[in-house]
A and B are shown apart, each in its own frame.
Chain A
Amino acid sequence: MSVEAEVKAGLYDCRDAFAATLEAMAAEDERVAAVVSDSVSSTKLKGFRSRFPAQFVNVGIAEQNLVGAGAGLANGGMIPFVCAASCFITARAMEQVKVDLGYARNNVKLCGMSSGMAYGELGPTHHSIEDLAWTRVIPNLAVIVPADPVETRAALLWAKDHEGPVFLRLSRLPVPVLLDEDYVFRPGHAVVMREGTDVTLVANGVLVCRALEAAERLAAGGISARVLNASSMAPFDRDAMVRAARETRGIVTVEEASIYGGLGGAVAEILATEHPARMKILGVPGVFAPTGSAEFLLEHFGLTASGIERAAIDLLDGVPGA
């Protein structure tokens, strides 16, 4: 679909909200800097570069240096938004993320662009389905996966004022606006997108809209599904998960990430010790994805409204499986 067609259909590339918000923050506060590793167009920061050249750094194709320089900028009093493809900024610079950001508690905002399988056809080198597992185990690092343009903006505004390292896991896949214009991001809080009593769908990022669509379909079949937007992966809303386990008959987690160590893992860790519940964990089942567009791959792995609907029905019917 062309950009015009997507906007007409009410779908948005969250990078536009990302770039606009970053520019607005830079205009307001000279400490806000954008730091990239050549990744100027993939982050949509060409406008930022021309409007705020003195607040813009391009370290070249060098992710370890990118994250380390971010830590140094924070040490020097800046608020750096360090931006690159999520697959590289995490995997290639993981030790800098752990030590220079998490352990040292440097005030760096890591922006992982085009996460998940957004770069579908480019293949598993460019997919970032491991990043949730890698980042959420790092103490002090907030991990945020916004669901739409409104939450992207809200999460950026929160990150700027939060004193500490943040990983924003962003996407380029078109999504509809799901949240109200005055939405305020709250760390450690799962957003109830839809109330429900039979089953709970927990999703984040680009899959929240698909979970909501699945809930619509389930409602048509007489099943009441609660939808939680777990955009705050760390800190994580333990209470909302325990409530869901207590108040509904099972939980389906839905993430554009490996089923190991991500959103499903986070929910399972809590419920296993606090309130065991029946679960299904939807995501990429421990494989490198085949060739195909992002849409194709989401379909391939059942990460669609119908795939989520089917998983919820199976869960309620007691059908085993991931």
Chain B
Amino acid sequence: MAALEADTELEERLRRAAARVRMRALEMVHHAKLGHPGGDLSSADVLVTLYLAVMRIDPANPRWAERDRFIMSKGHCSGAFYATLAEAGLISAELLNTYMDPLSKLNGHPDRNKVAGVEANTGPLGHGLPIGVGCALAARMQGVEWRVFVLTGDGELQEGSNWEAAMTAATYNLDNLVLIVDRNRIQQGDFTEKTIRMDPLPEKWRAFGWGVVEVDGHDQGALRRVLGGGPAEAGKPTCVIANTVKGRGVSFMENKPEWHHGVPTDSQLEMARKELLGALR
């Protein structure tokens, strides 16, 4: 893997942006009285790092043909996703105030025809990786260099379509494809390992012919180096297992299955704001 130099200034900017995304996502869920805050908070660092430090995109031209593609397969974490799109300048910050309002562009699950920067209409799980495989194949067929990033949940990998796509990606040597697994170990009803055993997850992906990297999914520096540095193994698609904490950044939400789709009360939002503002200082 090509090594990327550490850049402490950039990484500090990413850390602050991630704290803002966490705050905005919680405010949006509080406003809509709906949403998936646990996964918003676990995926915020990955999203921010991709959009602000890794992907080649042009906010003024969201459908630039040679852009890198990001597919938010865990579409239910739309709060963090939309907040990140606003950080990246793809949508306006004001639009976030309409999250799930009647006739808002910001549906609970993203719609590519309504929101700039959204590549796929997701929500039902297991759709993103097959679409990512198609995007990566399209780049290969046209001899162009764009990269494709797909973010799934870990429970989401219980959907069989992911493993269909995993085999296709390996067979076609799609080393322009990066799957990031938000490995927060919690799904809607319980911990993943108490629901359907996912471990040993890295070995599963290796067995399917992928290069695998494990990373602290809340370390912007490590994420930037892993995601920005090319394929883990030449000629193979890359699976980045981002070890994360569901509800990360808000102490009373961390590692609690009930915050998968809990809605903070006014006082809980205030407490969360204080903790996240601490990170912004």
A interface with B by C-beta (< 8 Å): 30, 33, 54-55, 57, 59-60, 62, 64-78, 80, 95-96, 99-100, 103-105
> Which chain B positions have C-beta within 8 A of A71?
120, 130-131, 134
Minimum CB distance partner of B130 in chain A: A68
Asked if B265 is an interface residue, CB under 8 A from chain A, the answer is no
CA distance A74 to B123 in the complex (A): 19
CA distance A54 to B172 in the complex (A): 12
Contact B161 A69, beta carbon cutoff 8 Å: no
The main secondary structure of chain A at its interface with chain B is: helix
Contact A62 B168, beta carbon cutoff 8 Å: yes
Minimum CB distance partner of A105 in chain B: B113
Asked if B138 is an interface residue, CB under 8 A from chain A, the answer is yes
> Which chain A positions have C-beta within 8 A of B160?
64
Q: How far is the CB of A96 from chain B (nearest CB, A)?
A: 7
CA distance A69 to B131 in the complex (A): 5
B interface with A by C-beta (< 8 Å): 65, 69, 111-113, 119-124, 126-127, 129-139, 141-142, 146, 148, 160-161, 164-165, 167-168, 171-172
Q: How far is the CB of A102 from chain B (nearest CB, A)?
A: 9
Contact A80 B134, beta carbon cutoff 8 Å: yes
Minimum CB distance partner of A96 in chain B: B127
Q: How far is the CB of A252 from chain B (nearest CB, A)?
A: 39
Contact B164 A65, beta carbon cutoff 8 Å: yes
The 9 closest A-B pairs by CB, nearest first: A72-B134, A76-B138, A68-B130, A62-B164, A65-B164, A69-B134, A64-B161, A104-B121, A72-B131
Contacting A104 at CB < 8 Å: which of B69, B112, B138, B171?
Answer: B112
Contact A103 B164, beta carbon cutoff 8 Å: no
Question: Assuming A95-B124, A100-B121, A104-B120, is B131 touching A62 (CB within 8 A)?
Answer: no
CA distance A181 to B141 in the complex (A): 34
Contact B127 A74, beta carbon cutoff 8 Å: no
Question: Assuming A68-B127, A104-B113, A105-B113, is B141 touching A33 (CB within 8 A)?
Answer: yes
> Which chain A positions have C-beta within 8 A of B122?
99
CA distance A67 to B124 in the complex (A): 14
Contacting B138 at CB < 8 Å: which of A59, A62, A73?
Answer: A73
Contact A59 B121, beta carbon cutoff 8 Å: no
Q: How far is the CB of B253 from chain A (nearest CB, A)?
A: 29
CA distance A33 to B124 in the complex (A): 27
> Which chain B positions have C-beta within 8 A of A99?
121-124, 127
Q: How far is the CB of B41 from chain A (nearest CB, A)?
A: 26
Minimum CB distance partner of A78 in chain B: B138
> Which chain A positions have C-beta within 8 A of B69?
75-76
Minimum CB distance partner of B161 in chain A: A64
CA distance A54 to B129 in the complex (A): 22
Q: Could you list 19 examples of A-B contacts with CB < 8 Å?
A: A59-B164, A62-B165, A65-B130, A65-B133, A65-B165, A68-B131, A69-B133, A69-B137, A71-B130, A72-B131, A72-B135, A73-B134, A75-B120, A75-B135, A76-B137, A77-B138, A95-B124, A99-B121, A100-B120
Q: How far is the CB of A206 from chain B (nearest CB, A)?
A: 32
Contacting B133 at CB < 8 Å: which of A30, A33, A68?
Answer: A68
Question: Assuming A75-B131, A100-B121, is B137 touching A64 (CB within 8 A)?
Answer: no
Name 8 extra pairs, CB < 8 A, besides A69-B131, A99-B127.
A33-B141, A64-B164, A68-B129, A71-B130, A73-B134, A96-B130, A100-B130, A103-B121
